[in-house]
Structure 1
Amino acid sequence: MKTLALIVLLLSQITKLNAQTPHLSGKVEVVMATGQITCDFVLSNIPNLGKNYQILLNKGFNIKAIKDAANQTLKYSGFYNGAMRGEGLIYTPLYKDSTLVNPGKLHITYTGAFPVYTDTLNFIDFKGLIAFNGKTMRATDQSKWYPIIYDIKNDRQIEQMTFNIQVTSKDAKMIFVNGDEPKPGPAASFKSEVPIAPMIFAGDYGVQKTKGALFLNSQMDDKQLEVFENNIAEMKAYYFGALNIPYDTKNIFIAHSPVEKFNKGRSWGFVSFPTIAFAGIALGDMIDVQQHKLKDSTDYPFIAHEIGHYYFGNVLQPNSTLFWFFLESTAEYLSVKAAEKKFGKTFSSRYFAERGKQLKNFKAKPLNKIKDANEISGTYRYAYGPFLLRGLEQMIGEKRMFKFLNTCLVSKNELTDYNFFKRNALESGITPKEWEAYEKEFIISENAVSLIK
C-alpha cells in the first residue's frame, strides 16, 4: 500500500509539473532578405498564476491580436506607453479592464522587421538582439522572439517550454530550433517534449556531426573537430568531478558573424542550453592540430565559461536580485577553476593579478545591498564577482567551495537573492563564524580585489 501510495504521489507530481510547463505551437515565417518575422502562436499550459503574470514580447514586434481559448479577441495593456522588462515589452491580457485571471491558453499573432547588417554594423551585439547578418539570423530566449511568461510573485521569466512549431524561410538553406535537430529549408517542423528555450538559427550554413556534439557553420576539418570535442569532454569531466552533477547532454556549437564590428582578437559567446554560440572567431583557428590542443591558453576558460552555464543557467536558473551574480560570476569562476586544473595554479594567479589591475579603481555595491538585478553591471558580474567567489574559496578551501556550489545547484524554485547565497553557504557546512568573517572581509568591502592572494 505504501508503494502504491508513493507511485500515485509521484504521478500526481509529474502531472502537476507538466501542467505548469507552457507549450508553444504554431507557425513562424522568417524573411532573410528583409529581416521580417511573422508569428502565429498558441501558448498553452500557462501556469496558474492568478493575476500575477505578464506576457513579454520583443519591442520590435507589433501585435495583431491576442485571443483567448474560445478564440475571442482580448483587450490588453502595453500597447500604449508600454513598460519594458529586459528586451521585451510587457503585455497583460484584460477582462473588464482588469488582468485576465489564469488564461490557460492564449493565441498571439504578431509581426516585426529587424535590420539586416552587412557592411554597416551596429555598435553592439549581444544575446538579446535579434540579429540578421545577410547570411544567417538568430533569435534567443533573451530576445523574446516568442511570448514569454513572467511570474511576478516569484520574479522569474518562464523561458523554457515544450513546443511544436513550423518554421518557414524561403531563402534559408538550413533551419535550427534549439531542442530539435537542424533541418533543411525552406520549411521544417520542430518539436520538443522536454522544456527548453527555443532559440532559432536559420540561414546558409553547413552541419557537422561528431560523437558528442553538433557543429553549425563551423567549417572545421575532422582533425580540428576531434581536438575541439576532446577539450569539451575534458571540461565536462572536470565539472562533473568537482560539482558531483553529471553533464551528459550533447551540445550544439554555432559559429556566426557578429553584427557589431569586432577588433582583432575579440570574440564573444553565449548559451541557450544546450546550444553554445560563438561570434567573432572561426572555431578552427583555435586549434593546434599538431599539438592536439587549443592554440591559446585563454581560449580554454573562454569556452569553459560557456560550458559552465550548463550548471548556472540550466541546472540552476537564476532570478531575482543576484540573477547576474549566479548566472555569470559563477560561470566565470568555474572557467578559471577548469583552466587552473588544466594549466596549474600559475594560470589562476595570473588571471586574478591581471584583472585586479583592471579593477583597481572599481567600487562595488555590496551584494547584501543589491535591490535590483541590473545594479550588478557587466564589470561586476564578469570581473569582480569571481573575486568574491575566489575569496570564499580562499577562506574555506576548494573542496568545501564546491560543496557550497553543489548545494546551490540542487536548490529548486528559490529566489536567488542574498538570502539564498547566505542560506546555502550555511547549509553546505560553512559555519556562522566563517560566514561572518567572509561577509566582513569580502562582501561589505567596496573593493576586495587586494585580498586575493
Structure 2
Amino acid sequence: MKKFLFPLIILVTCFTTAQSTVLLGNLDISLEKETLVGDYSLTNLNVESSKVQIILHHKIAIKETLLNGQKISIKKTKEECYDCDIYEISLSKPITPSDTLHLKTKGSFKSYSNGKNKKDYKGEIVNNYGILRASEQSKWYPTFVGPNQMSSISNKTYYTYAIKASCTDCRNIYIGSGIPKSSGSTFESSIPTENIMLIAGDFDWQETDHAIYINIDQESTISYFDALFQSINSYYETTTAIKMPKKFTFAHLPSDNSSWGGFMTYPTIVNVNQKLAAKNLEGYLSHEVAHYLFGNVFKPKTNLYWLFLESFAEYYSYKYRLEYHPELMKRPYERLQKAQNFVRLDKVEHYHEITNGYRYLIGAFQLLAIEHLIGEEKMIAFTKALFLDRKDKQTNGYELLLKTLKNSGVDDKAINDIEEKIIKNFDLDTYTFVASKIKTTE
C-alpha cells in the first residue's frame, strides 16, 4: 500500500491560525424554559469590509449589537438560508481586526421524549430525551462572514474561543472538544476551528485512551469502539500518511429519526440510533472517522460539494471494509443493484442536485471503480491534488475533477473510460470487482 505526503497541510494550518476570529462568550441554557441566551464578543475580524453578515439559527434572534462599545444598527435580510437567518451590518468604514463586535442573543428550542421528532437532522437545536444537542450546522453561535461569501455551502468561520456555559438543570455540558464539565465552566480552544459542538443535559461520560464517550455506559460497548477506533485510525493513517487524531469524542444522543444514523462535528461523532449496539456499526464509524479527512483536512468546495464531502468519506469506509471485513460490503452492494438515484456529475449545476441516495452509495462506488481502473497510487495522487493543490478559484467541480485526473498522471484513454463507463452511465457490470472480493470471504 502506497503512502503520500501532504506538505501543504502545515501551510494551510498556519494560514488558518493567522486568519481565525476570536469568539468570547457567555451562554445561559435552560432545559426547563427551552431557552439559549448568549452574550458574545468577536475580535480579529479579518474581513476589512464595511458590510458584513452574521448568520444564526432561525430560532435565535440578535437582541443588541455593539461595535467597540457603541450601539450599531443591524437588520435581518431576506436572503435564503436553510433554517437560519442572515443579519447584515452596514458601516461608514470597514471593520478591522482590532475592532470588537458584541452580540447579545436569545433563542429557543424544542424538547422531545415522545417519538415525534421524526424529521430530526444535524441542523436542529433540539433537546431529545433530556439532552440538548446543537452542531455547528445549526448556527447556535454567530457565524461571521464578509461580502460575497454566502453563495458557498462550505463557507464557515474559524474561531479560537472561550465560552462560559451555565445550565442549572444540566448535569454536564460539553462544548467543542475535551471532557464534559459542570455548569459554570469555561470551554476553550486555542486551535482555530470551524466546528463547535454543544451537548448539555443529563448524561454520564467516560474517557479512555482512544475516545471520550458521552451517554454510553456499557463497558463491553466501549471496549468494542476503542478497538474499532484504533483499527480505523491505523488504516487511514497508513493509507494517507496523514496523522489521525489521538482521540475522538463519541456521543450517543438518541433521535426519533429512524432513517438517520448520525454525523461528525470534528472531533465529535454523534450516533442518533435509539439503541446503541456494537453490531453493524463498523461501517458507520469508519465513515464518520473518514470525515476527519474529508471535511477537516480536505475542504470540499464547488458544485460537487456533496460528492467531495460524503461520497469520498463513504468511499474510504468502503476501502476499510474491503480491506478487513469484505463481508460487510454485501449489503451496500445489494443496495447498489436496486439504486435509482444515479446523478450525472457532468450535468450538475447546484450542489443540491446530488441526492442522498447518490452521495452515500453510488458516488462512493464510482470512486471505488475509478480506483480499480487507475490503481490506488494514482487515485491517492488524484485525491491529494483535488483537495490540497488548488491554486485557482474554479467552481465547476466536474471540470476540476477531469483536470485533476489528468494532472495526476491518468492518461487520456483512462479518463475517457471514467467519463463514459462510470460518470455518464450507470452499468452494474462496472462494479462486479466488488462482488468478487465479497465472495472470497463467504
1:213-224 equivalent positions in 2, closer than 5 A: 213-221=211-219, 223-224=220-221
Task: Work out the CA distance in 2 between the residues paired with 1:180 and 1:233.
Answer: 19
Q: Which residue of 2 aligns with 1:58?
A: 57
CA contact (8 A) 2:207 2:213 kept: yes
> Which has the larger displacement, 327-336 or 350-359?
350-359
2:408 equivalent to 1:428:
yes
CA contact (8 A) 1:33 1:134 kept: no
Task: Work out the CA distance in 2 between the residues paired with 1:261 and 1:322.
Answer: 26
2:417 equivalent to 1:437:
yes
Stretches of structure 1 that go unaligned for 5 or more consecutive residues are 1-10, 287-294
Q: Which residue of 1 aligns with 2:372?
A: 394
Higher relative contact order (CA 8 A, sep 6+): 2
Q: Which residue of 2 aligns with 1:234?
A: 231
Q: Which residue of 2 aligns with 1:292?
A: none
1:412-423 equivalent positions in 2, closer than 5 A: 417-423=397-403
User: What SS class does the counterpart of residue 406 from structure 2 fall into?
Assistant: helix
Backbone CA RMSD of aligned residues: 2.6
Q: Which residue of 1 aligns with 2:248?
A: 251
Give the count of matched residue pairs.
Answer: 415
CA contact (8 A) 1:66 1:107 kept: yes
Alpha carbons of structure 1 residues 329 and 150: separation in structure 2 relative to 1, 3 Å? farther
In structure 1, give the amino acid aligned to 2:248: N
Alpha carbons of structure 1 residues 320 and 59: separation in structure 2 relative to 1, 3 Å? farther
TM-score (norm 1): 0.84
Q: Which residue of 1 aligns with 2:88?
A: 92
Alpha carbons of structure 1 residues 237 and 408: separation in structure 2 relative to 1, 3 Å? farther
Alpha carbons of structure 1 residues 228 and 281: separation in structure 2 relative to 1, 3 Å? farther
Q: Which residue of 2 aligns with 1:326?
A: 308
Task: Work out the CA distance in 1 between the residues paired with 2:157 and 2:394.
Answer: 16
2:105 equivalent to 1:141:
no
Task: Work out the CA distance in 2 between the residues paired with 1:14 and 1:390.
Answer: 29
CA contact (8 A) 1:408 1:424 kept: yes
Q: 1:170 aligns with which of 168, 172, 177?
A: 168
Q: Which residue of 2 aligns with 1:4?
A: none
Task: Work out the CA distance in 1 between the residues paired with 2:308 and 2:246.
Answer: 21
1:78-117 equivalent positions in 2, closer than 5 A: 78=77, 82-95=78-91, 101-102=94-95, 104=97, 105-117=100-112
Stretches of structure 2 that go unaligned for 5 or more consecutive residues are 1-9, 433-442
Task: Work out the CA distance in 1 between the residues paired with 2:103 and 2:24.
Answer: 11
CA contact (8 A) 1:243 1:406 kept: no
2:348 equivalent to 1:370:
yes
In structure 2, give the amino acid aligned to 1:391: A
CA contact (8 A) 2:74 2:87 kept: no
Task: Work out the CA distance in 2 between the residues paired with 1:142 and 1:251.
Answer: 19
Deviation track 1:134-193 (CA, whole Å, cap 9, x = no partner) reads 4110111000111113453583422431101111111011011113431122x2111100
Shift of 1:120: 5.0
TM-score (norm 2): 0.86
Shift of 1:17: 4.4
